[in-house]
Amino acid sequence: MLTYQRRSPILPLIALLVVVLELMAAPVVSARISQDSTIKQGLTPVQLEIEKHRQLLSSADVEDRRHALVRLRAMHHPQASRAAQAALNDPSPIVRATAAASVLALPPDESAAGLIPLLSDKDEFVRQQVAYALGQTRSSSAVAPLVERLSDKKDSVRGAAAVALGEIADATAVTYLAAVLNQQAGLPPAKKGQKSKPEKNPFVLRAAAHSLGQIRNRAALPALILALQDESIEDDVRREAAWALGRIGDASAIPALQQAVTSRDPYLAETAQEALRKISKSRSSGPM
Q: Which amino acid is at 162?
A: A
Q: Of the candidates 162, 178, 254, which has an alpha carbon nearest to the alpha carbon of residue 219?
A: 178
CA angle 59, 60, 65 (to 5 degrees): 50
Residue 19 has a pLDDT of 44
Q: Which amino acid is at 128?
A: Q
Q: What does the alpha-carbon distance between residue 244 and residue 238 come to, in Å, rounded to a whole number?
A: 10
CB atoms within 10 A of CB 47: 14
Helices (H), strands (E): how many in the chain?
15, 0
Which pairs with CB-CB distance under 8 Å and at least 24 residues apart come from 191-200?
194/151, 196/151, 199/158
Residue 40 has a pLDDT of 56
Residue 283 has a pLDDT of 72
Residue 2 has a pLDDT of 44
Per-residue pLDDT of the chain (288 residues; tens, 9 = 90+): 444 444 555 545 444 444 444 445 444 434 443 434 444 567 899 999 999 999 999 999 999 999 999 999 999 999 999 999 999 999 999 999 999 999 999 999 999 999 999 999 999 999 999 999 999 999 999 999 999 999 999 999 999 999 999 999 999 999 999 999 985 544 554 455 555 678 999 999 999 999 999 999 999 999 999 999 999 999 999 999 999 999 999 999 999 999 999 999 999 999 999 999 999 987 776 553
Cβ neighbours for 39, distance < 8 A, ≥ 6 positions apart: none
Residue 10 has a pLDDT of 54
Relative orientation angle of helices 124-137 and 108-115, to the nearest 10 degrees: 170
Q: What does the alpha-carbon distance between residue 200 and residue 209 come to, in Å, rounded to a whole number?
A: 13
Q: What does the alpha-carbon distance between residue 40 and residue 149 come to, in Å, rounded to a whole number?
A: 45
Contact between 61 and 85 (Cβ < 8 Å):
no
Q: What does the alpha-carbon distance between residue 153 and residue 191 come to, in Å, rounded to a whole number?
A: 14
Residue 288 has a pLDDT of 39
Residue 198 has a pLDDT of 85
Contact between 275 and 253 (Cβ < 8 Å):
yes
Residue 42 has a pLDDT of 75
Tell me how far the alpha carbon of residue 60 is from its chain's centroid: 25
